[in-house]
Amino acid sequence: MDYRRTYVRDLFSMPPGSSTSAYGWVKTRRDSKGVSFVQLSDGSCFRDLQVVIEAGSIPEEQLKLLTTGACVRFDGEVVASPAAGQAVELKATGVEVFGPADPTHYPLQKKGASFEFLREIAHLRARGNTFGAVFRVRSQASFAIHKFFIDRGFHAIHTPIITASDCEGAGAMFAVTTLLETPPHEEPEAVLKARPYLQDFFEKPAYLTVSGQLEAETLALGMTNVYTFGPTFRAENSNSVRHLAEFWMIEPEMAFCDLDGNMNLAEEFLKEVIGFLLERCAEDLEFFNQRIEPELLTTLHHVVESPFERMTYSEAVKLLEASGESFEFPVSWGSDLQSEHERWLTEKKVGRPVILTDYPKEIKAFYMRLNDDDRTVRAMDVLAPRIGEIIGGSQREERLEVLERRIDELGLPKEAYWWYLDLRRFGSAPHAGFGLGFERLLMYVTGMKNIRDVIPYHRAPGQAEF
Ligand code: ATP
Ligand code: MN
């Protein structure tokens, strides 16, 4: 057995008359007079292969083992299919059953199991239509993202996963410690109290990273255009459908680039990655459009085809105030926009993706470049129809005195930022970048409503099975 062989996806383009083998898992078997039909899937594409088994072509005791979930190889001949929706099927001449699946115990029996239930058997759900499609799209999206940046000469960098600085206060952090590796007779709490951090592995408090941005900035101010695409951790203590404790983030950073350049990159990025997926994952996306989110293809094509509108936060607030809509959260200058406001702007007001810029400094991070008005910063949020914010970014503050003043105003520990400030002390440059949660992008592209369903194994409060 070699990985270089025919997959189910290859079979569909083989001419009738070819003899071949098909490996995979049985989705269903249907018996009628003198013939059985097996739907076989190997995850290589959305479509299942129909295998036709005429009576007597394989031994009776083998046929009995062909139940949902069984893993098999069929040998046979590709034939033109009389059934609608498929050009060819496989007429079986032989079978090998690698692993039967006892129908009285196999958990993935019935069609239409809820996503909640499938999350509990996440180790098996990749065998079904929806999750096969989700994980194929995830794979292609990951490739499209690397391709987008590498094609433009960006350098892929890997920022640390363990960090000693909660640099942006982006979210609650997970501590990393070896102090809890105590002999069984010692209470972990007592040990933590008794031993100062100096005795811990890193000799200071350490955490799982909430963002690679600050480290990415250091590499951009030396290598010009870089991006990091890696795991990120936030101890989000909620059962939100949009938050995970472990997710993947894409963070490009560019030297000699201002907010306009940053907006151009974000727009090109979304258009190219989504365009790539519309082409490469057409069958999977068609399925999501039919079964998960009826507006899916319309909104995705819309993002690819229409130029993004650009306006300032202040302009957006004026539009919202004049909208006459009754929002659940009232809007006024200085308040953070809620997803209902973002959706109204992009769906109802503008009818296209919108990039909002120049937010009040109070609602944005300390590292964003201060505007001359002293009230707003060069931040940008990209809003897309159907979900609202999809990308957040900014031009970074490159002026040492201004950055130090912001850090002081916010009462952040300046000493911890010595290396970040060094970048402004020595050879500072205008620079900008953005961040985008990979799973949020996948939710957008697939229409899946719960972020736990676009990652193979989700991490959330109380959820670390598998
Ligand atoms: P939110 O308001 O949705 O919590 P945030 O403002 O905390 O987001 P940022 O700090 O700007 O998010 O992080 C950058 C991106 O990372 C967000 O735009 C989002 O796509 C993604 N993201 C943030 N938190 C999570 C999470 N817990 N799970 C998955 N993705 C996340
Ligand atoms: Mn958050």
Tell me the CATH number at 214: 3.30.930.10
Q: Do both 78 and 159 map to the same domain?
A: no
State whether the beta carbon of 378 lies less than 6 angstroms from ligand 1.
no
Tokens 């997970």 found at: 174
Among 130, 65, 135, 123, which Cα is nearest to 95's?
65
* pLDDT of 191 above 70: no
pTM: 0.95
Give, for ligand 1, the residue of 214, 227, 232, 390 to mutate: max count of ligand atoms closer than 8 Å to Cβ.
Answer: 232
CATH number for the domain including 72? 2.40.50.140
The continuous run of DSSP H or E covering 150 comes out as helix 129-151
Does some domain include residue 413? yes
pLDDT of residue 46: 97
**97, 232: one domain:** no
37: buried, middle or exposed (CB in 10 Å: 19+, 13-18, 0-12)?
middle
In this prediction, residue 377 carries a pLDDT of 98
**Structural domains of the chain, count:** 2
> Rounded mean pLDDT of the chain?
94
Is the domain of 148 the same as that of 86? Answer: no
DSSP tag of 249: E
pLDDT of residue 192: 64
C-beta of 170 in contact with ligand 1 (< 6 A): yes
Q: How far is the CA of 66 from the centre of ligand 2 (A)?
A: 47
143 lies in the same domain as 58:
no
65, containing H or E segment: helix 60-65
Ligand 1 centroid to residue 48 C-alpha, Å: 36
* Helix, strand, coil abundance in the chain, percent, nearest 5: 35, 25, 40
Whether 433 is in the pocket of ligand 1, judged by its Cβ within 6 Å, is no
Domain around 61: 8-106
**Do residues 355 and 383 touch, judged by C-beta distance below 8 A?**
yes
Angle at 449 between CA 447 and CA 451, to 5 degrees: 105
pLDDT tens, 318-350?
A: 999 999 999 999 999 999 999 999 999 999 999
Residue 296 in domain: yes
Q: What is the pLDDT of residues 212-247, one digit of tens each?
A: 999 999 999 999 999 999 999 999 888 899 999 999
DSSP annotation of 169: -
- d(CA 51, CA 81) in angstroms, rounded, equals 10
Q: Are residues 165 and 34 in the same domain?
A: no
